[in-house]
Chain A
């Protein structure tokens, strides 16, 4: 029995991943997301300058502006501002490229933390019956506060900075993960194999890790991807409103917030970071759509 059992899961797992990778949404969204990740990592080598460097003689320039500056050794060099400059003379191109770093860090960190915290609370809610209704009422309350508004309220409570922003975006996401995990746990608990595991005296932690946890993986990967996209968007909104990450840090939201004043004359200050942001969110959402259709067909019909 054991040998027969061991063989199929391996081949099935391989076939699942090949189905996933053949999905056009996964391919398209995943490739763009991967390219953005590579750009974010390689930011210093992509003909960028220090994104915080201020050049008072090159303020509010149009894309393609070339300036002559002295380098560290005092030699005159030509500098090209591919996407122009902002009102402090900072290079928009470099800021947009470096902005990818902040956005992706926020997106991935929020997704990982929200999924992890939600998984633990969700398993407790699904398994410890007396805690269930207390936890879920609390989560209902959190979910009744509109996501962005809750994030806005939470950032107002602490001093601005990356950790505060991450926490403020994580908290509204947690109840959604909790609900998902809880519903999986509740449905798994009634399965015959779980009941037989209980009958043979499997201790609860083993039961949760061996039988319940693997069943939450697929929906959580899907949910995590959507949370990542949503987190990038909310971070940009908070920065844009001027209540997120401090303005000197290059984030797409901050670049756009800075570009508001001269928008009529220099629309590129808002346009380019806006395109980058839309592309990132679109790519990750498409990746999520594709993953949901292939990994988690049960939920595919929800939308």
Chain B
């Protein structure tokens, strides 16, 4: 097993390297001159040249890459054009809202979607099943920001139960922190609940036809125990895969949700950086999110070997 895990860890290195090259090249291969875009429409050639010099765009491309990647490996992403401070420091400040939102969402999704999928599979073909599946198609199609505004309108504007927007740091009070994250994490979780409930249903359905399920029932075990102990446990691997793969959608959703609820996290930072053409920040955020995505999927793959001893590569 250790050999497999080691090989799996090593296999992510080329992907990470290619992502780094792509993120680097993106800025250099653009048809328009990044220096001119940063300078704006009213800049004169001297100002543009100054920016080129500051960005190091006049150096040979290989040298630029080596300088950049050397910095990145030491956690130095350069200085933000817009915020005038180290990008690494900027990201550090913005990490908490994003992590809070993501973790709370994943918690909510697992708590709601998995039982929903199991219930749908158990009542296969009935109206309960169709209701869950109908919700799943709907949830997958309603855009995150539309869900967000509907929830704000109902729970914050009309009922006045929850704050509309904003964020409170966790050290300023857990209550206020949680209160302000309820609506955002509900918003973000809708798509995933749709996805994962569907996936859970499919994989549990497949397992329910197995002989050992019949055996378990024949032994006289309660249906609850059959579903959870025998069916869900064996359906866990595909469910986990889909959770890993949907992290990409989660990251996209984080950007939109933070924008709707003005949570000062990495997503809002990305949008602000794009609006300000703050390339060092854009590069760093893209790199960070992509690495997180790749690493989470690595963790998921490694988790398989513990969940399902049959899996060996």
Contact = CB atoms under 8 A, between A and B. Distances in A.
B227 to A, nearest CB: 21
Interface stretch (B75-83, B91-99, B100-108, B133-141): B133-141
A204 interface: no
Interface string A116-147: 00000000000000000000011011101111
A146 B246 CA distance: 10
B271 to A, nearest CB: 5
Contacts of B113: none
A296 B304 CA distance: 29
Nearest to B288: A149
Contacts of B290: 144-146, 149
Contact of B248 (A146, A154, A256, A286): A146
Contacts of B149: 256, 263, 267, 270-271, 274
Contact of A240 (B16, B152, B202, B256): B256
B275 interface: yes
Contact of B142 (A145, A147, A256, A278): A278
Interface in A86-143: 137-138, 140-142
Interface string A252-294: 0000100000011001001100110110011001100100000
Contacts of A303: 198-199, 202
Contacts of B293: 144-146
A157 B30 contact: yes
Given A146-B251, A157-B30, A303-B199, A141 B18 contact: yes
Interface residues of A, number: 45
A301 B198 CA distance: 12
Interface in B245-303: 247-249, 251-252, 255-256, 259, 270-271, 273-275, 277, 279, 282, 285-286, 289-290, 293-294
B170 interface: no
Contact of B37 (A147, A159, A282): A159
Interface in B14-34: 14-16, 18-19, 21-23, 26-27, 30-32, 34
A236 B143 contact: yes
A153 B286 contact: yes
Interface string A48-82: 00000000000000000000000000000000000
A257 to B, nearest CB: 9
A285 B22 CA distance: 31
Given A274-B149, A303-B199, A241 B256 contact: yes
Given A243-B275, A277-B143, A303-B199, A156 B282 contact: yes
Given A137-B14, A152-B270, A278-B146, A157 B255 contact: no
A149 B283 CA distance: 11
B68 interface: no
Given A153-B282, A274-B143, A277-B143, A141 B22 contact: yes
A187 interface: no
A275 B150 CA distance: 11
B256 A282 contact: no
Contacts of A141: 15, 18-19, 21-22
Nearest to A158: B32
Which residue of A274, A286, A289, A301 has the most chain B CB atoms within 10 A of its CB atom?
A274
A142 B22 contact: yes
B277 A156 contact: yes
Contacts of B34: 157
B19 A145 contact: yes
A267 B32 contact: no
A36 to B, nearest CB: 14
A242 B140 contact: no
B81 to A, nearest CB: 12
A127 B189 CA distance: 41
A16 to B, nearest CB: 24
Nearest to B136: A303
A264 B259 CA distance: 16
A184 B73 CA distance: 39
5 contacts: A146-B293, A229-B141, A243-B275, A274-B149, A303-B202
Give the top 10 A-B pairs by smallest Cβ distance, nearest first. Answer: A141-B18, A148-B252, A282-B141, A274-B146, A157-B30, A146-B248, A156-B274, A146-B251, A281-B141, A278-B142
Given A142-B22, A158-B31, 6 more contacts: A146-B289, A148-B256, A149-B255, A237-B145, A271-B150, A285-B137
